[in-house]
Amino acid sequence: MIRSDSTLARYRLTAEQAQLLYDLAGGACEMCKRPLDPDSGAIDHCHATDVVRGFLCIRCNAALGSFDDDPSMLRKAASYLEERRAGHPVVRQYAKQARENPVMERLRRGPVYYSILTRAERSGLRRLEKSGTVVRADDGRYVLAA
């Protein structure tokens, strides 16, 4: 049996019609295709008209509801995910710089003494100093150039 009698009544479905909806979906969510038990899915419907659209898993049904059943918002969300698959461009650049020079993260937090740096960080510090990115302060600490 699919859901409760009150759910079926809300969408004006009989138990047989609800079972047919489940069977037509192949026993799976019509969006993500994950297998479903008849009583673990959701009857998807238009919130404006209560017209039944199909049988979905709870996650897919909630996702549609989160976007107010608006196809243009779903397309924008899909575009966003595709464009940002590798992460935000600025964050990617920051991460790339941090990987390339291990001392950068320490320097962003504040001045550092050469003696407390690891071997890799010291090497990175020397490269940054040569490029003018880092300067040595009067007190012997290294800081990012202004």
Q: What is the pLDDT of residues 57-100, one digit of tens each?
A: 999 999 999 999 999 999 999 999 888 887 777 766 666 655 66
Give 11: exposed, middle or buried? Use CB within 10 Å, 0-12, 13-18, 19+. Answer: middle
Query: Are 13 and 52 within 8 A, CB to CB?
Result: yes
Query: Are 97 and 104 within 8 A, CB to CB?
Result: yes
All structural domains of the chain with their residue ranges: 5-83, 95-144
Class of the 5-83 domain? alpha beta
Residues 6+ apart with CB under 8 A from 73: 67
Q: What is the pLDDT of residues 3-55, one digit of tens each?
A: 577 777 888 888 899 889 999 999 999 999 999 988 888 889 988 888 999 99
Q: What is the pLDDT of residues 112-134, one digit of tens each?
A: 888 888 887 888 888 888 888 88
User: By three-state DSSP, how is residue 110 classified?
Assistant: coil
pLDDT of residue 75: 95
Q: What single string gives the DSSP state of each residue in 45-105?
A: E-TTT--EEEEEEHHHHHHHHHTTT-HHHHHHHHHHHHHTTT--HHHHHHHHHHHH-TTHH
Instruction: Give long-range contacts, CB 8 A cutoff, 24+ apart: 83-91.
Output: none
Query: Are 126 and 107 within 8 A, CB to CB?
Result: no
> Cα 103 from chain centroid?
29
